[in-house]
Amino acid sequence: MYKGEGMVEKLAKNPHFKDRRGPVVLVVMDGVGYGKYKEGDGVLASHTPVLNALTASCPHTRLKAHGIAVGLPSDDDMGNSEVGHNAIGCGRVYVQGAQLITLSLKSGELFRAGTWKILIENVKKSGGSLHFIGLFSDGNVHSHMDHLKGLIRQAKTEGVTRIRVHTLLDGRDVGETSALEYIDPFEEYLAGLNKSGVDYRIASGGGRMVITMDRYGANWGMVEKGWHTHVLGDGRYFSSAHEAVEILRKETHAIDQDLPPFVIAENGRPVGPVNDGDSVIFFNFRGDRALEITAAFEKDDFDKFDRVRRPKVEYAGMMEYDGDLKVPRQFLVPPPSIERTMGEYLVETGVTQLAISETQKFGHVTYFFNGNRTEKFSEDLETYIEIPSDIVPFEERPWMQSAEITDKVIEAIESGEYDFIRLNYPNGDMVGHTGIYQAVLCAIGALDLCIGRLKKAVERAGSILILSADHGNSDDMFEHDKKSGAVVTKEDGTPKAKTAHSLNPVPCIIYDPDFGGEYDCKLKEGLGISSLAATCIELLGYVPPGDYDPSVISLKE
C-alpha cells in the first residue's frame, strides 16, 4: 500500500445509485476533439459510424482541455497529454509546469535556490561552459523560449562567460517548418549579448523525433544520437544552425521534428561538446521526454548504450521529472504537489483497477494519472498493462496498437476482476503529430472500430463506457489564418499541415446500457476534463470528494 503524503478516506457509497454488473470503463481517445474548422478536421472527415451513433443516442457534452482549464497560463496555451491526464486523474486543476516556471522566474525564486547557485558557481570556478539542452520553441508543451532566455540573461548577470545551447527542433507543438523563426532571432539575441565580451553560441541540434527526446524506453537509439550530438560533438558539421536547417531540409525534405542531428563546428572542431567541469541544464519542464537523457547523465550503472565518455558535470533539470524516483537529483523548480488522486481514493475504497495503453501513452494512464507517481497505490488492487509500441514512424502504422489494447480490455471486462478500467488510445495524438492527413483518417477509423468492439463488450457485461480525451489534435490538421479562418496553403497550393495540438473542446460520451434513470440524460456544459474524475466516481456508485470539480452528470435523489 502506498504510504506517501495525502492519505485519503474511503469514499461514501451513494444509496441512490444502482451498481452495474460490469466495470466503469474510461477511454481516453488521445488527441480527439471537436474541430473549429471543417477543412482539416481529421476526426470529422474519418469514417466513424460507431462514434457518430453513440453521440447521437447517448448523453454527451463537450469539455475544455486546454489553457486555464488544465492549469496552464492562459487560454492561448494548448493542452497536452501530461497535464490532461493529471487533471483527469486528480479531479482538480493544478498550476502546471509552464506557469510555475514563469512565476519562479518573475519572482527570482529560481535564482535564489541552491541548484541554480551550484550550477553557476561550478562553471565560474572551473572556467567551463554552461549548457542548455531542450526543445527550441514557444510551444509551451515541453518548454518555452522565454524560459531559456530568462536563464541566459541571469547567467550573464552573474558572470557566466561561456554558454552553449543545444537545440531540439520542434515542428510538432508549433508549425512543422518553423525552426528558422526561432533560430534566426535567437542568433541575433546571442549576438547582442556577445557584444559585451561573452561567448554564447548554438552548439548542436536536430529534430525532436530523431534525437534525445525519446520516452518510456521506446527507442533508446534516439537518446544515443542525442548524446553523440550534444555531449561528444560527434556528427555532421555545419557553420551555423541556420545553414544546418536549410541544407538538411533540402536533402531530406523532412519537417523540423524529423530533421537529422547536426553539430556546429569552427576550424574543423565542434564549438560546444560537454566537458568535465561544465554545467548542464535540460530546460524542458515536462518529464516524459526528459527522463532518458537525464539517466544518461546521472546513472553510474547506465547500460542502454555506450556513452564513450561521461563528463563530470553538474546536471539539473528544469523541474523534477519523477517524484518517486527523485529524478533528476537536481532541479530548478519543484513540480506541483498533486495529492488525493482518484486512483488513491479508489484504492482506499477497495475498488479494483486496470490501467492500460501502449508504450507511447502507458505513463499517462499510470504516472501522470496518479499525480506524477511511478509506484502503485496498491499492488493488490491495481494492475498495469503496457503493450509495446512499434518502433516505426506512426504514419506507417496509424492504427498503432489499438487492436491489441482492445483485446486486453475486452478480456479484462469479461474477467469480472475489475471495477474500474482506464485506457488510452494514442492514435489521434501520435498520428496527428505527423501532419499526414491520410494517416489520420486511417488512425481515427481504426479507433472507431475498436470503440465498436468495446461497446459490444460493455453491453454484454452491463458496464458503463465513458469516452473522452485529454486534448485535441487530429481535429485540426491544417493551418488556418487566425483572422479569416482560411486554410493556409503551401507554394503548390496544398494545405499547410498542422502538427500541434488544438485548442478545441473534447467529447464526453456516456454509454450506459443498464441505465436506471439515476441521473439526468442532459449532461452539464462548460466544464473541463478535470470533471471526469468525479464523473467516474459517481458512475461507480460513490460520492466524490467535496473539493473535486463537479461531475458532468446530475444525479437524481
d(CA 300, CA 310): 9
Beta bridge partners of 262: 205
Q: Which three cell numbers stand for residue 179?
A: 525552426
d(CA 136, CA 113): 25
At residue 2, does pLDDT exceed 70? no
Q: Are residues 373 and 452 in the same domain?
A: yes
**Mean pLDDT, to the nearest integer, of 81-99?**
91
Q: Are residues 102 and 90 in the same domain?
A: no
Q: Are residues 472 and 406 in the same domain?
A: yes
How many other CB atoms sit within 10 Å of the CB of residue 114? 8
How many other CB atoms sit within 10 Å of the CB of residue 309? 13
Which spans in 374-516 are helix H? Answer: 402-415, 427-430, 437-461
Q: Are residues 369 and 286 in the same domain?
A: no
- Angle at which helices 241-252 and 179-194 pack, to 10 degrees? 160
- Angle at which helices 145-157 and 179-194 pack, to 10 degrees? 10
Q: What is the DSSP letter of 491?
A: T
Residue 384: CATH number of its domain: 3.40.720.10
d(CA 414, CA 133): 47
Which of 333, 350, 365 is the last residue before a domain boundary?
Answer: 333
The band of 500, judged by pLDDT with boundaries at 50, 70 and 90, is confident
Q: Are residues 514 and 535 in the same domain?
A: yes
Q: Is residue 546 part of a domain?
A: no
How many other CB atoms sit within 10 Å of the CB of residue 547? 8
**Mean pLDDT, to the nearest integer, of 494-503?**
90
The band of 3, judged by pLDDT with boundaries at 50, 70 and 90, is very low
At residue 80, does pLDDT exceed 90? no
Q: Are residues 225 and 85 in the same domain?
A: no
**Mean pLDDT, to the nearest integer, of 35-45?**
97
Do 30 and 423 meet the contact criterion of CB atoms below 8 Å apart?
A: no
Q: Is residue 16 part of a domain?
A: no
pLDDT of 44-65, one tens digit each? 999 999 999 999 999 999 999 9
pLDDT of 127-151, one tens digit each? 999 999 999 999 988 999 999 999 9
Q: Are residues 480 and 359 in the same domain?
A: yes
3-state helix vs strand vs coil in the chain, percent to 5: 35, 20, 45
At residue 341, does pLDDT exceed 80? yes
pLDDT of 348-379, one tens digit each? 999 999 999 999 999 999 999 999 888 999 99
Answer yes or no: pTM beyond 0.85: no
Give me the count of residues in the chain. Answer: 557
Q: Are residues 179 and 53 in the same domain?
A: no
* Lowest-pLDDT choice from 26-40, 273-287, 460-474, 479-493: 479-493
How far separated are the first and last CA of the chain, in Å rounded? 35
Q: Is residue 549 part of a domain?
A: no
Q: Is residue 553 part of a domain?
A: no
Residue 166: CATH number of its domain: 3.40.1450.10
- Out of 46, 57, 74, 81, the active site residue is 81
At residue 323, does pLDDT exceed 70? no
**Mean pLDDT, to the nearest integer, of 287-311?**
95
Position 224: which residue type? E
Which spans in 253-379 are helix H? Answer: 291-298, 342-349, 359-363
Number of structural domains in the chain: 2
Q: Is residue 12 part of a domain?
A: no
d(CA 552, CA 160): 53
The band of 74, judged by pLDDT with boundaries at 50, 70 and 90, is confident
d(CA 478, CA 42): 9
Q: Are residues 132 and 267 in the same domain?
A: yes
Cα four-point dihedral sign 277, 278, 284, 289 = negative
Q: Are residues 121 and 174 in the same domain?
A: yes
Q: Which three cell numbers stand for residue 106?
A: 518573475
The enclosing H or E element of 25 equals strand 24-29
Q: Is residue 315 part of a domain?
A: yes
3-state secondary structure of 541: coil
Query: Which pLDDT belongs to residue 508?
Result: 98
Mean pLDDT of the chain: 95
d(CA 528, CA 530): 5
What residue numbers bound the domain in which 323 lies? 98-333
Which of 333, 362, 381 is the last residue before a domain boundary?
Answer: 333
Burial category of 389 from C-beta neighbours within 10 Å (exposed 0-12, middle 13-18, buried 19 and up): buried
Which of 333, 351, 381 is the last residue before a domain boundary?
Answer: 333
Q: Are residues 292 and 345 in the same domain?
A: no
Do 42 and 436 meet the contact criterion of CB atoms below 8 Å apart?
A: no
Q: Is 81 a catalytic residue?
A: yes
Q: Are residues 360 and 482 in the same domain?
A: yes
Q: Is residue 270 part of a domain?
A: yes
Q: Is residue 525 part of a domain?
A: yes
